[in-house]
Amino acid sequence: MTKKKTITARRSILSANDRQAAANTRLFKKLGLTTINVMASPGAGKTSLLVRLLQALSPHGSVGVIEGDVASSIDTEFIAGLGYPVTQINTDGGCHLNAVDISAALGELKISGPGFLFIENIGNLICPAAFDLGEQARLVIASVPEGDDKPRKYPGIFMKADVVVVNKIDTLAAFDFDRAAFTAGVRAVNPAAPILEVSCRTGLGIDALADWLLALQKAR
């Protein structure tokens, strides 16, 4: 009984979300914004990657960030301190962003393209996968210290990724991370997404990821 009620509410929420996501997609196109939904575990390096990408991509056009967090505005203050446009969404315990959040945040952010809008989703490998935000691409970060089994344990989010980034690759020697096992785990659910290794600390691999994003922008 309780279960049935929950499922009905969930379907209704997802369908409302999809309608708003479609409206977001139209607005992103109109504004000339290539929008990337960035998803990962807590501490995988979402904000660090965004900062690297903002630096790499800002010479090519406008850039902006919608920053999602359960609580705090630590990341927003950091990105704003670097001089990039950023708007905060606090979900107050909610485990993912939704399309309505994004629509509201975009109204506040006031950026226009051509350029890139990055959405930093809530640190979570489960809930964000179910909610389309209207983005052009989904970027999922895994990090070396988390272990190579994450794609097999959290297949839903890797299945829907357009690009998979392996961060903290500079710490490979300190952890038991088998690259072939990681790749096999991704490929079991996602045959096509490129898997790019980066270190946000050293900058390794950031250019290749920026090139992938610029090619995505051109392909619109």
Using a 10 angstrom Cβ sphere, with 0-12 exposed, 13-18 middle and 19 or more buried, the burial of residue 98 is buried
Based on the shown chain and the rule CB under 8 A, indicate whether residue 155 belongs to the binding site for its own copies: yes
Interface positions, 174-203, toward its own copies (CB under 8 A): 174-175
- The nearest distance, CB 218 to its own copies, in angstroms, is 34
What one-character DSSP code corresponds to residue 28? H
Based on the shown chain and the rule CB under 8 A, indicate whether residue 204 belongs to the binding site for its own copies: no
The DSSP secondary structure of 94-163, one letter per residue, reads: -SS--HHHHHHHHHHH---SSEEEEEE--S-SSGGGG---S-SEEEEEEEGGG-TTHHHHSHHHHHT-SE
- The nearest distance, CB 16 to its own copies, in angstroms, is 6
Task: Please identify, among the stretches 24-32, 51-59, 143-151, 210-218, the one whose residues bind its own copies according to the rule CB under 8 A.
Answer: 143-151
Q: With CB under 8 A as the rule, give the number of residues binding its own copies.
A: 42
Interface positions, 50-79, toward its own copies (CB under 8 A): 69-72, 74
Task: Please identify, among the stretches 9-17, 31-39, 54-62, 206-214, the one whose residues bind its own copies according to the rule CB under 8 A.
Answer: 9-17
Amino acid at 165: V
192 SS3 class: coil
Sequence length of the chain is 220
The DSSP secondary structure of 46-92, one letter per residue, reads: HHHHHHHHHHHHGGGSEEEEEEEESS--HHHHHHHHTT--EEEEE-T
105, 117, 125, 186: which one binds its own copies (CB under 8 A): 125
Based on the shown chain and the rule CB under 8 A, indicate whether residue 143 belongs to the binding site for its own copies: yes
Please give the residue ranges that form the binding site for its own copies (CB under 8 A): 2, 5-6, 8-9, 12-13, 16, 41-44, 69-72, 74, 93-95, 122-127, 130, 143, 145-147, 149-150, 152-156, 168, 171, 174-175
